[in-house]
């Protein structure tokens, strides 16, 4: 009895110590992912304020206060974080079960956008559903739900992925219907992002390489045909190729030329926060589609490089989480994580390319940073799902149960 007591005491102490040491080696959730997401949103909010502070000087926004867009963006971020927290609590298995229903439901919303009286038009495009208090952009919802749907489809049809009729065509038809509805809005940029997401997930899921190459060539042909048959898109392409011709600089390439001027003024370290001249009614949509140009002018190459590196880290982390999930046989979770990485990466690349004159002008926002409720909300939900995938990976690697 004399020697048993120290033994019992020793074992009772050792268990909590080992448990604590195990927790210290592996966090409960990916804290860097959370902080990078918050940093991008808060940095974006500051730049939205800087880019929009002078808008009330124009007749279009005369009734707005100088802080109108700042307050609304802060509200969007607050609501998005709350919804993201709720989304994080949903198990990935539940998201997989809901994926087909969310996809079909969003298809109906895309149809409702085109119904007179329901859809709200801005600058000639009908992309929003107005609910008085806020406007919902269904194409933003589709970007997330196509990730879930394509990942679920790939898992369900895994044995048919090398077949054209059973494996490839159903998904092609689904994306084609989405594309038709988006082109009717019109929203070619969102269609391009959604096609890249679906094709990327199918490629990662092991689709036949020949069919993948063939459909890729077909899609390039379709996009080219859409541009050729649309006079104003064709004019925009010609203007993009030579934006400094007076006719283009004052017309279709007006945004692009002033975006390039903004980057030129910024040089290495910028003119200083709040010092942008281009945002003073020279550069249209500076707080939405061309926010990066304002960052480039005020914070210079250094500020743009910080944004690029943060997005690079975010996308890289998404693919790492996806690889880890697939390694422990969570195929749907792995494809979803990688799909979220493709989504954020493609949209950020297109927006940055447009701002820098590398791509023709398209109405796509910079994820997490540009002004807009639907975009920030869906970005937060997508990254909350990514965080949940990582959380479930960690639980399973510890030997626990979800």
Give per-residue pLDDT as tens, 92-138.
Answer: 999 999 999 999 999 999 999 888 878 777 766 778 887 777 788 89
379: pLDDT strictly greater than 90: yes
pLDDT interval class at 19 (50, 70, 90): very low
Query: What pLDDT sits at residue 135?
Result: 81
Q: Residue 4: is its pLDDT beyond 60?
A: no
Phi, psi of 123, rounded to the nearest 5 degrees: 55, 40
Question: What are the tens digits of pLDDT across the range 196-238?
Answer: 999 899 888 877 667 677 777 777 777 777 777 777 777 777 7
Could you give the CA distance from residue 261 to residue 300 in angstroms, rounded to a whole number?
12
Q: How would residue 270 be classed by pLDDT, with cut points 50, 70 and 90?
A: very high
Show the 3-state SS of the chain.
Answer: CCCHHHHHHHHHHHHHHHHHHHHHHCCCCCHHHHHHHHHHHHHHHHHHHHHHCCHHHCHHHCCCCCCHHHHHHHHHHHHHHHHHHHHHCCCHHHHHHHHHHHHHHHHHHHHHHCCCCCEEEECCEEEEEECCCCEECHHHHHHHHHHHHHHHHHHHCHHHCCCHHHHHHHHHHHHHHHHHHHHHCCCHHHHHHHHHHHHHHHHHCCCCHHHHHHHHHHHHHHHHHHHHHCHHHHHHHHHHHCCCCHHHHCCCCHHHHHHHHHHHHHCCCCCCCCCCCCCCCCCCCCCCCCHHHHHHHHHHHHHHHHHHHHHHHHHHHHHHHHHHHHHCCCHHHHHHHHHHHHHHHHHHHHHHHHHCCCCCCCCCCCCCCCCCHHHHHHHHHHHHHHHHHHHHHHHHHCCCCC
Choose the weakest-confidence range: 103-107, 134-138, 176-180, 257-261.
Answer: 134-138
Mind listing the pLDDT tens digit for each residue in 276-306?
A: 999 998 998 899 999 999 999 999 999 999 9
Q: How confident is the model at residue 392 (pLDDT cuts 50, 70, 90)?
A: very high
Average pLDDT over residues 21-31: 64
Task: Give the pairing of strands 119-122 and 135-136.
Answer: unpaired
More confident residue, 336 or 157: 336
Q: Which residue has the higher pLDDT, 240 or 8?
A: 240
Token pair, residue 295, equals 């960052």
Measured CA to CA, the distance from residue 128 to residue 322 in angstroms comes to 32
Q: Which pLDDT band holds residue 387 (cuts at 50, 70, 90)? A: very high
Residue 5 above 50 pLDDT? no
Is pLDDT above 60 for 358? yes
* Confidence band of 189 (pLDDT split at 50, 70, 90): confident
Residue whose C-alpha is closest to residue 52's, from 71, 66, 73: 66
Q: What is the mean pLDDT of residues 147-166?
A: 86
pLDDT, position 124:
63
**Per-residue pLDDT, 168:** 77
* pLDDT at residue 26 in the model: 57
């Amino acid at each position: 009895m004399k020697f048993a007591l120290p033994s019992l005491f020793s074992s009772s102490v050792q268990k909590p110590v080992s448990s604590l040491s195990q927790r210290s080696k592996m966090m409960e959730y990916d804290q860097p992912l959370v902080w990078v997401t918050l940093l991008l949103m808060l940095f974006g909010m500051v730049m939205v304020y800087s880019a929009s502070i002078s808008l009330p000087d124009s007749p279009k926004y005369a009734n707005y206060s100088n802080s109108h867009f700042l307050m609304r963006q802060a509200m969007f971020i607050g609501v998005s974080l709350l919804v993201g927290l709720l989304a994080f609590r949903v198990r990935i298995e539940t998201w997989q079960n809901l994926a087909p229903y969310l996809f079909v439901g969003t298809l109906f919303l895309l149809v409702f956008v085109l119904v007179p009286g329901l859809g709200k038009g801005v600058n000639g495009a009908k992309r929003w559903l107005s609910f008085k208090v806020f406007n919902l952009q269904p194409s933003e919802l589709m970007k997330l739900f196509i990730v879930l749907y394509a990942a679920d489809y790939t898992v369900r049809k895994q044995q048919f992925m090398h077949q054209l009729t059973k494996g490839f065509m159903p998904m092609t038809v689904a994306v084609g219907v989405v594309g038709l509805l988006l082109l009717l809005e019109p929203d070619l940029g969102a269609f391009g992002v959604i096609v890249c997401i679906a094709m990327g997930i199918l490629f990662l899921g092991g689709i036949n390489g020949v069919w993948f190459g063939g459909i890729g060539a077909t899609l390039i042909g379709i996009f080219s045909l859409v541009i050729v048959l649309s006079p104003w898109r064709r004019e925009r392409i010609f203007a993009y190729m030579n934006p400094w011709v007076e006719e283009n600089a004052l017309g279709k390439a007006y945004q692009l030329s002033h975006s390039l001027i903004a980057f030129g003024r910024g040089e290495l370290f910028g003119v200083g926060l709040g010092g942008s001249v281009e945002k003073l009614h020279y550069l249209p949509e500076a707080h939405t589609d061309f926010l990066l140009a304002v960052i480039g002018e005020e914070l210079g190459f250094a500020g743009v490089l910080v944004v690029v590196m943060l997005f690079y880290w975010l996308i890289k982390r998404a693919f790492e989480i996806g690889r880890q999930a697939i390694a422990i046989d969570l195929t749907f979770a792995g494809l979803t994580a990688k799909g979220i990485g493709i989504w954020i990466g493609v949209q950020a690349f297109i927006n940055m390319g447009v701002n820098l004159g590398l791509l023709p002008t398209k109405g796509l926002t910079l994820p997490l940073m540009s002004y807009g409720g639907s975009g920030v909300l869906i970005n937060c939900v997508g990254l909350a799902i990514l965080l949940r995938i990582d959380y479930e990976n960690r639980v399973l690697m510890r030997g626990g149960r979800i």
